Amino acid sequence: MARKLRMGMVGGSYDAFIGDVHRKAARMDGRIDVVAGAFSSNPEKSQETGKRLAIDPSRVYDTFDAMLAAEKKLPADKRIDFVTVVTPNHMHFKPVKAALEAGFHVVCEKPLSYTMDEGREIKNIIAKTKRAFMLTHNYTGYPMVKQAKAMVSGGELGKVMKVVVEFPQGWILALMSSVGLKINPWRMDPKVSGISNCMGDIGTHCFNLAEYITGLTIDSVCADLTCFKGQPLDNDGNVLLRFNNGAKGVLHASQISFGEACGLNIRVYCEKGRIAWKQENPNYLLVQKDDTPVMTYERKGGGYLTPAADRGSRIPVGHPEAFIEAFANLYVNFADTLVALEEGRKPSDLELDFPGVDDGLRGLAFIKAVVDNGFNDNSKWTKITV
Amino acid sequence: MARKLRMGMVGGSYDAFIGDVHRKAARMDGRIDVVAGAFSSNPEKSQETGKRLAIDPSRVYDTFDAMLAAEKKLPADKRIDFVTVVTPNHMHFKPVKAALEAGFHVVCEKPLSYTMDEGREIKNIIAKTKRAFMLTHNYTGYPMVKQAKAMVSGGELGKVMKVVVEFPQGWILALMSSVGLKINPWRMDPKVSGISNCMGDIGTHCFNLAEYITGLTIDSVCADLTCFKGQPLDNDGNVLLRFNNGAKGVLHASQISFGEACGLNIRVYCEKGRIAWKQENPNYLLVQKDDTPVMTYERKGGGYLTPAADRGSRIPVGHPEAFIEAFANLYVNFADTLVALEEGRKPSDLELDFPGVDDGLRGLAFIKAVVDNGFNDNSKWTKITV
Amino acid sequence: MARKLRMGMVGGSYDAFIGDVHRKAARMDGRIDVVAGAFSSNPEKSQETGKRLAIDPSRVYDTFDAMLAAEKKLPADKRIDFVTVVTPNHMHFKPVKAALEAGFHVVCEKPLSYTMDEGREIKNIIAKTKRAFMLTHNYTGYPMVKQAKAMVSGGELGKVMKVVVEFPQGWILALMSSVGLKINPWRMDPKVSGISNCMGDIGTHCFNLAEYITGLTIDSVCADLTCFKGQPLDNDGNVLLRFNNGAKGVLHASQISFGEACGLNIRVYCEKGRIAWKQENPNYLLVQKDDTPVMTYERKGGGYLTPAADRGSRIPVGHPEAFIEAFANLYVNFADTLVALEEGRKPSDLELDFPGVDDGLRGLAFIKAVVDNGFNDNSKWTKITV
Amino acid sequence: MARKLRMGMVGGSYDAFIGDVHRKAARMDGRIDVVAGAFSSNPEKSQETGKRLAIDPSRVYDTFDAMLAAEKKLPADKRIDFVTVVTPNHMHFKPVKAALEAGFHVVCEKPLSYTMDEGREIKNIIAKTKRAFMLTHNYTGYPMVKQAKAMVSGGELGKVMKVVVEFPQGWILALMSSVGLKINPWRMDPKVSGISNCMGDIGTHCFNLAEYITGLTIDSVCADLTCFKGQPLDNDGNVLLRFNNGAKGVLHASQISFGEACGLNIRVYCEKGRIAWKQENPNYLLVQKDDTPVMTYERKGGGYLTPAADRGSRIPVGHPEAFIEAFANLYVNFADTLVALEEGRKPSDLELDFPGVDDGLRGLAFIKAVVDNGFNDNSKWTKITV
């Protein structure tokens, strides 16, 4: 009989955005139950969150240390299987390290950590503890992104020549008006966010998506970052890209692009074809190749889809799936991997298709390069070094 | 402390489409657990389904009668709170009736029943048993549909003059080729489906959506139904509509419209404005009024949205929600209503915003009228009579 | 050396909409000059129009009879080659008849005439005078419409099963507000328009487009016409269609659909594919066939286009052409035909691809059938009889 | 009485793309006739072109010098009013200079000239001869571009913060396959094109459009240009922009972006609103401001349009106008200006709204800066200096 995996959370109190997305995504497919948590640095808030989530109060903890210690003592068929860390950036490292060392598998929100050094240490700990680790670069969970990856990195469209990847948002302007996306302003605080706001938060998604779909690495960047409105960290960035195969690219991300909500999108131009995808209407992938007209591939659209794209779908073509479903696809693959490990079986490539610590390290290296370059008018190109 | 409601299913074995959607929708928001089921008329299949769902084998039953009898005997804090019926059309009446009479609340897939007489009897039983009843006309769960309803039926756009509502699909052609949506062919069998296939399955969604958004009733229909490909039931239908306020309309639905997937869409033209909405890209609502340009309202888009539209959203603008989330919105309102009843409190209008037995009866009356009229070349207009 | 054809106009004074479109369309490709005209029933307005158009005042006439008489006397290398009639509906018959009988070729705005009898007489006169005659059902001039016709009527997509054709406009509501399209209200006057406003003006375009693209004929109609706002003629109509091959269809047109501008569009569903086209974004044609994804054919898009579609383009893919260019395509084919006749050569099928008197007669028959049926609640189906 | 202006052409033989567009644009509105030309450096080709255009053979010339000399001697009511130069880049300077000095007004295709020095000399000659001069940066002729300019440069949307402007094309790849746009390969030849291919041909359109709409100047650029496929000149370029008001931007243009046709588009983000416009669907302008939803402004859409946008329209909303019409708008304004000068009246701002020599000089300066910077990995920012 199937069993449900048990998840414990660090962070994600009742008023947090992304923590609740993790829960909805984990629950949707009936593979995972949230059974424990240290949901806030404020113990009362943690208890209140547990109450609202109908979690046994004895498994709602004041601190992540307390959670790890107590859960470790529970019998194997009761204790949590893995820990999901959804705290702000500066609070990723400690609970991730502690959870891994306590023997738990770990899911961590991006970025991997506050500094590159922390990130490298996490990589070492994972190697040592042999625990599964997932970093939620969630946009790679969309089926049509997987289709794009299969077609582009698989070579079907020929050599990649140019990539344009964008993530416009307008929420920082919206904070000053009544329109649009409201996001917690901790991202603007260097002590919490680290060296970057905009590039760290959403520029990394662009970077990750471009590398994921092309299967290439981005060698170097030339950037112009701006701290509009007198903020201490960047809230807009425009970046030129050079890929390891000679391809060129443009990456731009912004939090001051009036009216934009979650406008992540990517276009990849190859020698024999192209793809284009937009997160806000994610069930479609524009594909053109050879001498075909522009084609619109649809999620569950038919025999033209690859197994990876097909696997990430629940319901038939025309019945849209969206953000939470894509997020859930990461959890499905992670759950399959944990079950495989439990059964002593090597997970398949499809099961292992979720972002991990190396994606996290590359993301941190990108942030460092782009910040180094983007505020220096004399430096044209900066290498990305993990 | 919040408690999770407990759901038992009739139908919905592991290979069924809509049963699994009900489960995902019910689970997503952490309000409901599936804890019991008679998932198939085949006991082995029912057991296998329970196993895959990690349900306690003692609560996986061979028949719905067995489930109702056994669950009734369980203590109040363990037994199911409500029954969800997701069997084919001809098998709705019996389990719905039995569950209501056993004291359980009920969720039922549409159509309400196989015949009008059954539907009227269900209405009487609900009145007698005072149980909550939800019919899953799921498309009314979309936030932008609720926005449309608020604006149109609320009178903001002036008197309704014309409605165009469509539901093109192509799956019957797709069954003969390699493209598109695959659906269980039981819908083509009169013994299972009833007097109509296409109009019963998807024409009713058009009808329900038009009445829901306008707040009007459709008085009479003039129809042309067709059984293409020598099938016993209609697989295409074109219908002229007359509304009770003098508005006119067009409704057409099809299963032989090559390449169409789930193309439900509606346009409502009023004296001072209009709306348009498409299910396949559901986070947007076209709105035009007075002397404004065409506007695109977005889910969670800002202060212009009504409470009902806002309530049905989980995540910020630009982060799309879709079919399962809309379906889940029905379950959220149903769960809120059950909790209110449990707490002895009158549910609010927002909580009660889910389709019920009257929608079901009107749907059956529509099917009857449209079948009577649509195969009779001498009858121009047929009244819809509940 | 090429010569420019000489055009004389009946109607089309400086403040008329469609007359000016005819001039722009005729001039664009350098094949035709407007050299004479009786531009208005008001002689001063006719003179003023000629002045603004820089036309030799001696060739600006007070009446069409005067124009025909005077031009006939001019030497062959100076007199007009053809007459374009762009008066209101009730004033088509006389100048068309007179021009044909005076030996001129004729271009006439649709509808062909005020009554069926007049239309039949025009057909006879054409047969007798052997003059070329074009009726400006201009939407058939769009290249992507020609592509659709080639694919559908040519059988590439299999048997036609269903057609949906729409022409929503909102100008009658707009007359009462500040939004949208302003159109001369003579269309609402039965003495000028004839038996129908909406169906005569735009319903016929739907009808013509459906027959043009499918190559089929529409046998019978079942209609519901409405005179909203107490007007004497219909301003909204919803029509069920039956085609001569067993296909079914829906046609609806409206002048009270708030905010709609010129929303003509058509979808044709066949056994092995489909097309969809929208006039407001006319350079694209949605095509799906066999097991392909949805494809977007583009004007001048490549090798997949037929000669007829290619012929109607001036500039490369991505450089949009639009309404006036499509209109001009009719004039190009008409000019080629006149030149062929002058040269004693049989025009090719591509050159003859413009609408003529038979399209006009079928349009009149459609209007009659739909008006007969659409105000009679006891008559379900009415045959279309030329 | 109105008179038609007389145009003589240098270049634009029967097989040239842009020359024919100039003719169609000039003719469309009945304001201008093409009456003379030196259409090719090949006299026979020039004659053949004249023949096809039905031009008096005595006014078809072997060289532009011959044309200018002969036309000058014709009586004032017969000779050409202005000269349009549509030769390849390296052949702009001589005929422009000669025509101006012969006393004719001039229209010139972009770029202004082969070198900056030539461009400056043209500016001086214009000042000296006091002739009207138009450079056909045709995309500024679109009504919705004029609307965008009015709203952005007029300050209605607040301070400009970010600009993204793109011009993807794929024709260089298409030359090697069967898809897409075919363009004369002289653009790849430095002796004809000058120092740049892609940036010179289409990058300058981006640059011009950004400055036109914002009313700002671009101070400096940081670029990465690429000569893919071993070509001598750039065929792809990605550029970071800094504006004189502190705004930032991204400009990228390409001829190797597979499948792209004429993808010019621009987004401008301001403090209190945004606009977005796409050339391939040019009748619409996305506008969002304050706390409105996204709005779709339409050509001739209603009272919300400015006089400049309205002036550039011929036909009602929903009846699309496109590339040739936008091009023709330049000629209409140029013609109005010539008439005003003839009448001794100062042309209005609306009449003077066409690009001129200063736009040309800024374009040349942009090309120089972007080529200097874009092949130098050590130079981050280069000033644009006229």
B181 has pLDDT over 50 = no
Q: Read off the pLDDT of residues C17-36 as tens digits, 9 standing for 90 and up.
A: 999 999 999 999 999 999 99
Of A238, A257, A273, the CB nearest to D258: A273
Question: How many separate helices (H) and strands (E) can be counted in chain D?
Answer: 13, 14
> What's the average model confidence in pLDDT over B218-236?
96
Of B21, B180, B303, the CB nearest to A317: B180
- Residue pair B234/B196 in contact (Cβ under 8 Å)? The answer is yes
Name all domains of chain C by residue range, CATH numbers in brackets.
Answer: 5-131 (3.40.50.720), 142-315+363-374 (3.30.360.10)
- Residue pair A30/B23 in contact (Cβ under 8 Å)? The answer is yes
How far B305 CA sits from the closest chain C CA (Å)?
Answer: 21
Determine, for residues D162 and A254 on separate chains, whether the beta-carbon distance falls below 8 Å: yes
- The DSSP secondary structure of D176-198, one letter per residue, reads TSSBS----GGGG-HHHH-S-SH
> What's the average model confidence in pLDDT over B15-21?
94
More confident residue, A2 or B331: B331
Determine, for residues D53 and C2 on separate chains, whether the beta-carbon distance falls below 8 Å: yes
**Which chains have at least 3 CB atom pairs separated by less than 8 Å from chain C?**
A, B, D
- 3-class secondary-structure state, position A85: strand
Least confident of A244-258, C105-119, D180-194, D364-378: D180-194
- Residue pair A306/A7 in contact (Cβ under 8 Å)? The answer is no
Q: Which residues contact A74 (CB under 8 A, 6 or more apart)?
A: none
User: What is d(CA B109, CA B88) in angstroms, rounded to the nearest whole number?
Assistant: 9
Of A20, A315, A320, the CB nearest to B21: A315
Of C228, C379, C380, the CB nearest to B161: C228
Tell me the pLDDT of chain B averaged across its residues: 95
**Looking at residue D172, what DSSP letter applies?**
H
Confidence class of residue B174 from pLDDT cuts 50, 70 and 90? confident
Quick one: pLDDT at residue B186? Answer: 82
Q: Read off the pLDDT of residues B202-224 as tens digits, 9 standing for 90 and up.
A: 999 999 999 999 999 999 999 99
- Residue pair A239/A252 in contact (Cβ under 8 Å)? The answer is yes
Pull the structure tokens for residue A303.
């025999």
In Å, the largest CA–CA distance within chain D is 64
Confidence class of residue C187 from pLDDT cuts 50, 70 and 90? confident
Query: Amino acid letter at A91?
Result: M
Quick one: pLDDT at residue B276? Answer: 98
Nearest to B92 by CA among B190, B194, B20, B17: B194
- Residue pair C150/C308 in contact (Cβ under 8 Å)? The answer is yes
- Token pair 């594909």 in the structure block, residue: A287
- 3-class secondary-structure state, position D280: coil
Query: What phi and psi values does residue A338 have, to the nearest 5 degrees?
Result: -60, -40
Quick one: pLDDT at residue B2? Answer: 82
Q: Read off the pLDDT of residues A305-354 as tens digits, 9 standing for 90 and up.
A: 999 899 999 999 999 999 999 999 999 999 999 999 999 999 999 999 99
Mutate to test the interface with D, among C14, C254, C323 (most CBs of D within 10 A): C323
Q: Could you give the residue ranges of the DSSP H alpha helices within chain C?
A: 17-28, 43-52, 64-73, 93-101, 116-129, 143-153, 171-174, 190-193, 198, 204-214, 307-311, 323-342, 357-374
Quick one: pLDDT at residue B183? Answer: 55
Compute the half-sphere exposure of residue B25: CA atoms within 13 Å on the CB side of its CA: 29
Query: What phi and psi values does residue C178 have, to the nearest 5 degrees?
Result: -105, 5
Pull the structure tokens for residue D264.
């010019």
Is the bond preceding residue A320 a cis peptide, omega within 30 degrees? no
Q: Is A291 on the interface with C (CB under 8 A)?
A: yes
> What's the average model confidence in pLDDT over B5-15?
97
Query: Amino acid letter at B147?
Result: Q
User: What is d(CA D223, CA D253) in angstroms, rounded to the nearest whole number?
Assistant: 11
Determine, for residues D293 and B303 on separate chains, whether the beta-carbon distance falls below 8 Å: no
Quick one: pLDDT at residue D177? Answer: 61
Q: Is B176 on the interface with A (CB under 8 A)?
A: no
Query: What phi and psi values does residue C9 have, to the nearest 5 degrees?
Result: -115, 145
Q: Read off the pLDDT of residues B245-266 as tens digits, 9 standing for 90 and up.
A: 999 999 999 999 999 999 999 9
Residue count of chain C? 386
Global ipTM = 0.96
C180 has pLDDT over 60 = no
Confidence class of residue A302 from pLDDT cuts 50, 70 and 90? confident
Q: Is A310 on the interface with B (CB under 8 A)?
A: no
Q: Angle A9-A10-A11 (CA atoms, 0-180°, nearest 5)?
A: 105
Tell me the pLDDT of chain D (386 aa) as tens digits: 789 999 999 999 999 999 999 999 999 999 999 999 999 999 999 999 999 999 999 999 999 999 999 999 999 999 999 999 999 999 999 999 999 999 999 999 999 999 999 999 999 999 999 999 999 999 999 999 999 999 999 999 999 999 999 999 999 988 766 444 445 578 888 998 899 999 999 999 999 999 999 999 999 999 999 999 989 999 999 999 999 999 999 999 999 999 999 999 999 999 999 999 999 999 999 999 987 999 999 999 988 999 989 999 999 999 999 999 999 999 999 999 999 999 999 999 999 999 999 999 999 999 999 999 999 999 999 999 99
pTM of the shown model: 0.97
Q: Which residues contact C287 (CB under 8 A, 6 or more apart)?
A: A293, C151, C273, C274, C275, C294, C295, C296, C297
Q: Read off the pLDDT of residues A34-46 as tens digits, 9 standing for 90 and up.
A: 999 999 999 999 9
More confident residue, D291 or C127: C127
- 3-class secondary-structure state, position C301: coil
Mutate to test the interface with C, among A296, A299, A317 (most CBs of C within 10 A): A296
Strands B160-168 and B265-270: antiparallel
C182 has pLDDT over 80 = no
- 3-class secondary-structure state, position A274: strand
Determine, for residues B318 and A181 on separate chains, whether the beta-carbon distance falls below 8 Å: yes
Pull the structure tokens for residue B351.
């909580």
- Residue pair D353/D368 in contact (Cβ under 8 Å)? The answer is no
- Residue pair B292/C174 in contact (Cβ under 8 Å)? The answer is no
Quick one: pLDDT at residue C109? Answer: 97
Determine, for residues D274 and A258 on separate chains, whether the beta-carbon distance falls below 8 Å: yes
Q: Is C301 on the interface with A (CB under 8 A)?
A: yes
Pull the structure tokens for residue A333.
């693959």
- Token pair 């077609």 in the structure block, residue: A151
Q: Which residues contact C223 (CB under 8 A, 6 or more apart)?
A: B240, C237, C238, C239, C240, C370, C373, C374, C382
Q: Is C322 on the interface with D (CB under 8 A)?
A: yes
Q: Tally C-beta pairs within 8 A across A and B.
A: 147
Compute the half-sphere exposure of residue A306: CA atoms within 13 Å on the CB side of its CA: 17
- 3-class secondary-structure state, position A337: helix
A179 has pLDDT over 60 = no
Quick one: pLDDT at residue D183? Answer: 54
Quick one: pLDDT at residue A184? Answer: 59
> What's the average model confidence in pLDDT over C100-108?
98
How far A149 CA sits from the closest chain D CA (Å)?
Answer: 17
Q: Is C304 on the interface with A (CB under 8 A)?
A: yes
Chain C contacts of D29, Cβ < 8 Å?
Answer: 24
User: What is d(CA B288, CA C253) in angstroms, rounded to the nearest whole number?
Assistant: 19
Quick one: pLDDT at residue C177? Answer: 61
Residue count of chain B? 386
C181 has pLDDT over 50 = no
C101 has pLDDT over 70 = yes
Quick one: pLDDT at residue A315? Answer: 95
Q: Is D170 on the interface with B (CB under 8 A)?
A: no
Of B178, B281, B321, the CB nearest to A281: B281
Quick one: pLDDT at residue A183? Answer: 54
> What's the average model confidence in pLDDT over A158-185?
80
- Each as own residue / partner, the long-range contacts of residues D199-202 (CB below 8 Å, 24 or more positions apart, any chain) are D199/D225, D199/D234, D199/D237, D199/D253, D199/D366, D199/D367, D199/D370, D199/D371, D199/D374, D200/D89, D200/D111, D200/D367, D201/D255, D202/D167, D202/D169, D202/D253, D202/D255, D202/D264
User: What is d(CA D145, CA D206) in angstroms, rounded to the nearest whole number?
Assistant: 12
- Determine which helix (DSSP H) or strand (DSSP E) holds B116, and give its type and residue range: helix B116-129
Q: Is D75 on the interface with B (CB under 8 A)?
A: no
